[in-house]
Structure 1
Amino acid sequence: MSSITRLLSILELFSEAKPLLSVEDVGAELDCSTPTAYRYVRELVDAGLLVRFAGGDYGLGPRIIKLDYHLRVSDPLLAVGQPIMRELSEHSGFDIVMSRWYGNELVDTHRETHDASLDLRYGRGRPRPLFLGAAPKAILSTFPKAKLALLFDQYADEIAHSGLGATLDEFRASLLKIRRAGFYLSKDELEDGVSALASPLFTDESGEAVGSLAAIVPTQRLEFANLERLVESIKEAAARVSQRTRGLIESRQSGEVALPHGAARSKRSA
């Protein structure tokens, strides 16, 4: 492992259970000497990625907040998706959540809230289970065979527990049904009393989703909801986000600037 990799891996040590770490904690986790751990921590403090508290422990620094802001404003899915999510939330009467698949992690990146009393366990940036709930299953259904085989090798027990199958063939067959439907409806899979209906999001023509759009429905309201209309709404919204995101990415790559509110695009000046 290179020094820069070890240095940045310190950021992965922080969690809800461990919001603060000492230099000794870092040394123990990285299996390095205290002076080396201190040098790594000092470099991260100088970069604004960590901050030292009065007791001597360290926490995540202000640069993280800045990076999160830049991620919000630069992510084409968020730029395109937020107004569509807001519109869908208002029309459907449900919360709408965007989730993204990064490597082997799934995180929520944005939520349009309609029901402020709905307290969800997972929020922006908090990693979610990879195989439970509507969002991951909608995304996984688009993955190619080779990628699914790798995931099954790594997470066979979790996949079986999620109800997606005890063998690779069963896993792929379950996801194929979801892929053909274009959506997945989960009931109390991730949280008791909470159901979700998700459809995949795409940023290119590869056919492999990078995220999902989901309507969050209190399970007790499912029997009163017009599921057929909700399914069509979430699929249509996801398709619209995907199409416009591809257009925005192509505009950025070609040097065009996409203006808000449907204004005409213009070439960047030299």
Structure 2
Amino acid sequence: MREKAVNSLERLQAVLDVFTEERLEWTPEELMEELGYSRPTLYRYLKILKDRGFLTSMPNMGFTLGPRVVEMDYLLRKSDRLILSGAPYLQKLTARYECTALLVRWYGEKILCVDSLSSTHEAISSYPRGRPMPLSRGAIGRSIVAFLPRRNLVPLIGRTLDEWQAAGVGDTVEAVLEALKSVRKTGYAVAHGEVTPGVTGFAAPVFDAGQSPIASFSVTIARDRVHGSLVEEIGGDVRAAAGEISAALVSHRHRV
């Protein structure tokens, strides 16, 4: 009975998983074709999700994500220890530099911004809060991947090698590993214009007592403002902020 319930939950969740930036609206017929569900099964799931506010629809239109998602996002902001611990450092770094500072969470094999603050007229980032970022391009992905245990890192690179090749990091798993060594050595990653043209990104890993990073603290700044010793200065500030956020998360975990 429990196995059947778990299977039903996974199938229900799969309905939500089809909503992406590339595909924001689905008709029931499209969902049936995409998911392979029977009409009665699909309509039962759609009713559950709509009644609970996870989906919404208008007459003669498809389904889109609903207001319950926004409500849960508000609760996330109020409860996520990463956001709460990182907020002072977003303020600190944006006060010190004309930049955009970001907290980026790692989950599964995705990275996405969960909070950010900018001291520029326009945020210097192509990936606003909630939009998944590329894993292999830019400082943020490398600041996380470089610090994964080798037993997790090697298979991950193997599965995504074409992305690392396209980003010019390396053509083989060993070449990518070698390129990531400098990130582990300095404690932070730097990338120039790889994700957003004309922008330099700095990022360092955030831990919460485990061996693998759970997030990254990052600063993006106009490339023409980054020169000489300022690269090491900003990199050091980002690394220090990530370290202090990590310490705050560990401290909270021990208190709990």
TM range (shorter): over 0.9
Partner of 1:83: 88
| CA–CA distance in structure 2, aligned partners of residues 181 and 54 of structure 1 | 56
How does the TM-score come out when normalised to structure 2? Answer: 0.92
Measured against aligned partners, the alpha-carbon deviations of 1:22-68 in whole angstroms (never above 9, x if no partner) come to 11111111112223221111111112111122333211111111111
Residue 14 in structure 1 maps to residue 19 in structure 2: yes
The structure 1 residue matched to 2:196, chosen from 161, 184, 191, is 191
Partner of 1:265: none
Partner of 1:131: 136
Question: Contact 1:137/1:184 (CA < 8 Å) preserved in 2?
Answer: yes
Partner of 2:243: 239
What code does the residue aligned with 2:141 have?
P
Sort the Cα spacing of 1:7 and 1:38 in 2 relative to 1 into closer, same or farther, 3 A: same
How much has 1:119 moved relative to structure 2? 5.3
The structure 2 residue matched to 1:42, chosen from 43, 47, 52, is 47
Question: Contact 2:203/2:217 (CA < 8 Å) preserved in 1?
Answer: yes
Q: Which runs of 5+ in 2 are unaligned?
A: 1-5
Partner of 1:266: none
Question: Contact 1:24/1:37 (CA < 8 Å) preserved in 2?
Answer: no
Please identify, of 72-81 and 48-57, the stretch whose mean Cα deviation from structure 2 is larger.
Answer: 48-57
Please identify, of 224-233 and 81-90, the stretch whose mean Cα deviation from structure 2 is larger.
Answer: 224-233
How much has 1:216 moved relative to structure 2? 0.5
Residue 249 in structure 1 maps to residue 253 in structure 2: yes
Partner of 1:120: 125
Q: Which runs of 5+ in 1 are unaligned?
A: 254-270
Identity of aligned residues (%): 28
How much has 1:114 moved relative to structure 2? 0.7
The structure 1 residue matched to 2:150, chosen from 131, 145, 149, is 145
Question: Contact 1:187/1:194 (CA < 8 Å) preserved in 2?
Answer: yes
Question: Contact 1:51/1:59 (CA < 8 Å) preserved in 2?
Answer: yes
| CA–CA distance in structure 1, aligned partners of residues 244 and 69 of structure 2 | 31
> Would you identify which runs of 4 or more consecutive aligned residues in structure 1 move more than 3 Å?
none
How much has 1:120 moved relative to structure 2? 2.7
What code does the residue aligned with 2:188 have?
F
How does the TM-score come out when normalised to structure 1? Answer: 0.88
